[in-house]
Homo-oligomer: A and B are copies of this chain.
């Protein structure tokens, strides 16, 4: 924390500020300048609550310096976190890109299996699909719940895909933890601290999506909540932020990828489906996400998007997923990455 004094601040006012800082248990470092004095604050007592420093006579403004997060920081752990999955060669955060694809919501067993067959055939290692859907309106499809989770577990058994699906409260988190491989916390719940703490006690990796108006610090602090409870397998996901623009549903902030990588050891993925809300933008922005250096993608794909119960307009057709994978394979080496080979098809059994 740094206290910047007004140009007209008296020496007495500067002294009062220093005294105040010390009374709060910190050390004050006055730095007289040509025009004004600044007072640095150091100490081991954690973040200073601005308290009344901000309003003391002669104070122009307060500037926060130290970052309040610890466990997410590269200062604490310089090497990249690589998340592995028992019984699978899939990884997140390592050399291989993690591609997660599937429908917005699990609607029926047939719909989910049809999508999974194509996701598997395209060479992705992770299957996404919501069993619990946070919807803006209480009158729209809210997901199949545990029935959906069972379908997802069956997809894992058949196709060997790792399953990622969203938990929306403590009850659903418990079930998601039991059935899935990765617990997703959605953007709307990024600061639902009660849920974050519960996720921090789960024994499965957690994917945390960036809130629509979250700064980088807030995003990392939300990850810190999870890690502070003991779960260090956290994956970050950029999915678009809210801005004044109206040509996309959200504005995909790809520059957060190198920013996260500079400050944190956690892997970061990009979701261009929610990030744009428009099918024709998903492939271009997927290419861009890989090119910028993301650790993978989360994309929506649906075999019949016209009849999807949610987010049909942003879902790729399965053939588009193949096209996307082909392009990702071409760009990956430019950023020192690779994509695992597409597997042999699961013959004869697509249901």
Contacts and interface: CB of A to CB of B under 8 A. Distances in A.
A63 B66 contact: no
Nearest to A197: B138
Contact of A290 (B54, B170, B291): B291
Contact of A241 (B35, B215, B251, B335): B251
A65 B64 CA distance: 11
A201 interface: no
| Total identical chains | 4
A89 interface: no
The winner among A194, A225, A246, A313 for most chain B CB atoms within 10 A is A194
Given A192-B189, A241-B251, A138 B279 contact: no
A244 B247 contact: no
Contacts of A44: 34-35
Contacts of A139: 46-47, 68, 228
Contacts of A197: 138
A265 to B, nearest CB: 13
Contacts of A137: 47, 68-69, 221, 224
Interface in A40-96: 40, 42-44, 46-47, 49-55, 63, 65-66, 68-69, 73, 75, 78
Contacts of A193: 134-135, 138, 168, 188
A138 B291 contact: no
A321 to B, nearest CB: 16
Given A51-B305, A216-B246, A280-B55, A66 B192 contact: no
Contacts of A155: none
A206 interface: no
A169 interface: yes
A216 B192 contact: no
A4 interface: yes
Contacts of A35: 44, 66
B331 A291 contact: yes
Contacts of A73: 7
A143 to B, nearest CB: 11
